[in-house]
Structure formats: structure tokens, C-alpha cells
Structure 1
Amino acid sequence: MNPEDKPTKETLNKWHKDPKNWKLGVFYYNKEDKRILPPKRMAWVGWTVNFANSISVALFVITIIIIISLALFSSK
């Protein structure tokens, strides 16, 4: 990504504050935002998944699969 293609800090803040980008108030969904892990609605809490970004969703699914696998195989 070229530096001129990166959104400005103002644009990132506008996307983050736009309620249309938050489904049910907790799920971030913005096709324009290419970040894999944008900040949560309350940024001091951490990061969330951008469900409009396929890499972000894949990372989320892989993480869930690993957690479930560890839980299932560690109990044996």
C-alpha cells in the first residue's frame, strides 16, 4: 500500500465513530477500512475484528478453531 493510499487519522476516526460501521453496536464492519484489527468502540479496551476484511475474519476463525481444539484435546 502506498503512503498516499493510506487513510488519514481523521478518516480513521470518522469511520470508527460512524454508527453505521458498528452492527448491533459491537461488530465492526467497514469495507473501506483495510486494518485487520481496528480498535474497539472504546479504544482503551483493545481491538476488534473488521468483519468486512476477509483476512481479519480468517484470523478470527483460526483463533476460535485453535481455542476449541486445545479445549477438546487437553481434556483427554
Structure 2
Amino acid sequence: MSQKEKPSKDILEKWHKDPDNWKLGVFYYNKEDKRILPPKRMAWAGWTVNFANSISVAVFVIVIIIIIGITMYLPK
């Protein structure tokens, strides 16, 4: 598959169901998957981070920093 080609739904489903793409059963790690926030293992539970995608990890870190920053500056 070329860089500009989007994977089909069948390929996305195959990646999602492949246990080798889930480290410790909860961390999604797939270098081929370019989605920033793929669905969690149980799709009804929301989305997760693709730890093989640097943009996805950057978004995760930024969100954590924002949450920490907000909680530090909330009035007590």
C-alpha cells in the first residue's frame, strides 16, 4: 500500500483485531496505521493512541500537559 492510499475498512478491521498490534492487551502499536486516534479494543469504549504514530503520541502528550496545567491553576 502506498503512502497516499487509504487502507480499506477490511484492512483497518484486520489491524484492529490482530493481537500483535496490542501490547499488553491495551496499548495499540501499529506502524502501518496512520490514524491518530484509532478505536479502542472494545470500540464502544472510545478511542486510543497509536503509540507507533509520532503525531498520535504528540497529541496524547499535549492533552496530558493541558489537563495537568488546568488542574494546577484551578482555584482551591
> Is the pair's TM-score, using the shorter chain for normalization, greater than 0.5?
yes
Q: Percent identity?
A: 76
Equivalents in 1 of 2:12, 2:24: separation in Å?
20
Deviations 1:7-63 (A, max 9, x none): 111100000000000001000000000000000000011110000111100000000
Aligned residues: 74
Structure 2 residues without counterparts, runs of 5 or longer? none
1:20 matched residue in structure 2: 20
2:37 matched residue in structure 1: 37
Write 1 or 2 for the structure with the bigger share of helix.
1
TM-score (norm 1): 0.91
1:54 matched residue in structure 2: 54
1:10 matched residue in structure 2: 10
Alpha-carbon distance, 1:74 to partner: 1.0
Structure 1 residues without counterparts, runs of 5 or longer? none
